[in-house]
Chain A
Amino acid sequence: DTGVSQDPRHKITKRGQNVTFRCDPISEHNRLYWYRQTLGQGPEFLTYFQNEAQLEKSRLLSDRFSAERPKGSFSTLEIQRTEQGDSAMYLCASSLGQGTYEQYFGPGTRLTVT
C-alpha cells in the first residue's frame, strides 16, 4: 500500500497524559498536513510542512501541541497534558505541492481522552 499511513489508528488515554501520533506520507510528496476532525464537522487545519520546514500553524494548535517532520519524510504530532476536548480524529494528508495538487488523506488516529 503506497498511500498515507498513520499510527496508531486508535488511542485511549487518561486526561493529563502525553500522546504522540505518527504519519507516513506518500513517498514522493513533499507537503504534509495535519487536520483535526470532530463529530459532525469537517476537518480543521492544524499545521503543515514543506519538506522538513513547518510553514504554518493554526491558532487551534495550542502550546500543548507540537509537530515535527525531522527528515522531511514522516511526521509526528504530540499532544502534552491531554484534555477531554482533545478527543477527535487526527488526520494526516500529503500532496506533491501547493495549488494544483490534491491532498490525499491517511486513515486517521482516533483519540479518546477519558
Chain B
Amino acid sequence: EDKVVQSPLSLVVHEGDTVTLNCSYEVTNFRSLLWYKQEKKAPTFLFMLTSSGIEKKSGRLSSILDKKELSSILNITATQTGDSAIYLCAVEGAQKLVFGQGTRLTINP
C-alpha cells in the first residue's frame, strides 16, 4: 500500500531560525511529489517535484527530491511567524495523491 511519512510531526523554533522538514515515501508508479501549506483552512500549493524537476525554490522556501532515497526535504530559511502552519507532503502515484500526516511548524517571536 502506498505510504508517505513525514518527520518531525511537530517542530517549534524561534523567528529567524532555519528549518528542514522531511518526507519519505513508498509509492508505486511515482509521478510527482507535492508540498502544501495548511493553516486553518484548505491546503495551499507550494511546490511540485518530478523526475525532471527535482529542485524548486521560491523566496525563503526550497525543496529537493531524492529519487534514489525516495524522500524529499522542505527548507525554510529566516522563518517568520507567518510560516506557522502544518506542512503536508503528498505523492502522486496511481492517479491520486497520498498525503503524509503533516509537520506542525510553530514559529515563536
On whether the beta carbons of A40 and B42 are closer than 8 Å, the reply is no
Partner of A100, one of B32, B41, B45, B99: B32
Binds B, one of A14-22, A62-70, A72-80, A101-109: A101-109
Q: Which of A55-114 contact B (CB under 8 A)?
A: 55-56, 91, 93, 98-100, 102-108
CB of B105 within 8 Å of the partner chain: no
Assembly CA distance A37 to B92 (angstroms)? 17
A107: chain B residues at CB < 8 Å are 41-42
Q: DSSP majority for the B interface?
A: strand
On whether the beta carbons of A48 and B95 are closer than 8 Å, the reply is yes
Q: Residue on A with the closest CB to B92?
A: A99
B31: chain A residues at CB < 8 Å are 98-100
Residues of B in contact with A, size category: 20 to 34
B90: chain A residues at CB < 8 Å are 42-43
On whether the beta carbons of B41 and A45 are closer than 8 Å, the reply is no
On whether the beta carbons of A48 and B101 are closer than 8 Å, the reply is no
Assembly CA distance A91 to B90 (angstroms)? 15
CB distance from A97 to the nearest CB of B (A): 11
CB distance from A21 to the nearest CB of B (A): 13
CB of A41 within 8 Å of the partner chain: yes
Partner of A40, one of B4, B88, B101: B101
Q: Which of B60-109 contact A (CB under 8 A)?
A: 88, 90, 92, 95-102
CB distance from A75 to the nearest CB of B (A): 15
A interface with B by C-beta (< 8 Å): 33, 35, 40-45, 48, 55-56, 91, 93, 98-100, 102-108
Q: 29 A–B contact pairs at CB < 8 A?
A: A33-B96, A33-B97, A40-B101, A40-B102, A42-B4, A42-B99, A42-B100, A42-B102, A43-B43, A43-B97, A44-B99, A48-B95, A48-B96, A55-B95, A98-B95, A99-B31, A99-B32, A100-B32, A100-B48, A102-B45, A102-B48, A103-B97, A104-B45, A105-B36, A105-B44, A105-B45, A106-B42, A107-B42, A108-B41
B interface with A by C-beta (< 8 Å): 4, 31-32, 34, 36, 41-45, 48, 50, 88, 90, 92, 95-102
